[in-house]
Amino acid sequence: MQQKKITLVTGGGIGIGRATAIASAGAGHHVVVTDVLEREGNEVVEHIRATGGSAEFMLLDVRSTPQADSVVRAVEETHGAIDALVLNAGIAHRVPLPQLSDEKWDITHDIDLKGMFRVARAALPHMRSRGSGAIVCLTSLMGVAWGWNEHVHYSAAKAGVVGLMRGLAMEVARDGVRVNAVSPGFVETAQLASEEHSLGREGIRKAAEFIPLGRVGQPDDVADVILFLASPAARYITGQVIVVDGGLVVTGR
């Protein structure tokens, strides 16, 4: 019997990460769900196992280099390899410019950008030595097409993700490793529904009115694209940003 592909998802406890973990398990992968949210991460694993899939949870704070190194090493030692790495962990906190301290800037960048680098850096040596692997980074429309009022730190970090992805893609391409990014538009998650930090429920309703496809995205809409980029079907794609926004960018809004 062919060995299951091993997919590691950061921020896999909720939202797009959760949907990606479930979709990957549905495709027959063994999924390593990582998050700082232990309860939510374990619930995802329980859901996957209850529906016949294979998964495990590992606690991972992407701000910690020792944790990132330890988790990746443990997965490689247990399973032999990481076939697909989905770098999804992130935060988006509304902070008006006068209150945007060095600390608040650094926290966002430490999670949303450097956190991706830490996990990728840990996983890439083994991927390169075996000559295969796929990495998918989560950026945002706010990092590739728009600015976002009172989210300067977030927009800058997500723009940085694109640079990180492209730099990695060039450096590891000849080693058989592909690196791409997905840029979601408005996706109905707890983050987007937050009145404090994002659109809120009324904002989500209004957004659906001007999105060409007539609705706000669902986490599954993004997860399916991530799954494609991590699969052999995307074998000739690297260094690219795939926008998943229901046509929003095309409107020029």
Q: How far is CA 211 from the centre of its chain?
A: 23
Q: Which two tokens stand for residue 165?
A: 């992805």
124 part of a folded domain: yes
Q: How far apart are CA 40 and CA 38, in angstroms?
A: 6
251 part of a folded domain: no
CATH number assigned to the domain comprising residue 102:
3.40.50.720
Domain range enclosing 179: 6-245
Please report the sign of the dihedral spanned by the C-alpha atoms of residue 138, residue 141, residue 146, residue 152.
negative
250 part of a folded domain: no
- Written as tens digits, the pLDDT of the chain (253 aa) is 348 999 999 999 999 999 999 999 999 999 999 999 999 999 999 999 999 999 999 999 999 999 999 999 999 999 999 999 999 999 989 899 999 999 999 999 999 999 999 999 999 999 999 999 999 999 998 888 888 788 899 999 999 999 999 999 999 999 999 999 999 988 876 665 445 545 556 556 666 788 899 998 899 999 999 999 999 999 999 999 999 999 988 887 6
Q: Residues of 230-240 as b/e, b for ≥16 C-beta within 10 angstroms? A: bbeebeeebbe
pLDDT confidence of residue 197: 46
252 part of a folded domain: no
17 part of a folded domain: yes
120 part of a folded domain: yes
253 part of a folded domain: no
pLDDT confidence of residue 192: 52
Q: Which active-site residues does the annotation give?
A: 154
Domain total for the chain? 1
Coil, strand or helix: which one is 243?
Answer: strand
168 part of a folded domain: yes
pLDDT confidence of residue 194: 46
